[in-house]
Amino acid sequence: MNGEQVAAVSIAAIIVWGITLSMWAQAWASRRKDSAKPERLAALEGRLERVEQAIDSVAIEVERIGEAHRFTARLLTERLEPLPADARASREPNA
């Protein structure tokens, strides 16, 4: 490589490095600026509170469903009468 080629490659490398560094600096600065907004934090806090309330109410409803299931299962077992031995034998499949 002669001197002109070395100079061209060096200039191109410096330009690419400068563009990359400036893009990284802009991204870093905008991220710091966005994270410092208290109104965004307050909005997120409100949304998180609503999500927490929704999860709590879903958990309560799931517990109610479980209680209803246990109650129904208990009622069904109490209503069943034991089968006489003759009926049990006729219902069992032949092995």
Number of compact structural domains in the chain:
1
Q: In a structure prediction context, what are the per-residue pLDDT tens digits for the chain, which is 95 residues long?
A: 677 888 888 888 999 989 999 999 998 888 776 665 777 778 888 899 999 999 999 999 999 999 999 999 998 888 876 666 665 566 666 64
Residue 63 within any structural domain of the chain:
yes
Residue 5 within any structural domain of the chain:
no
Asked whether the beta carbons of 34 and 40 are under 8 A apart, the reply is yes
Residue 75 within any structural domain of the chain:
yes
Residue 71 within any structural domain of the chain:
yes
Residue 95 in 3-state DSSP?
A: coil
- pTM metric for this prediction: 0.43
Asked whether the beta carbons of 51 and 45 are under 8 A apart, the reply is no
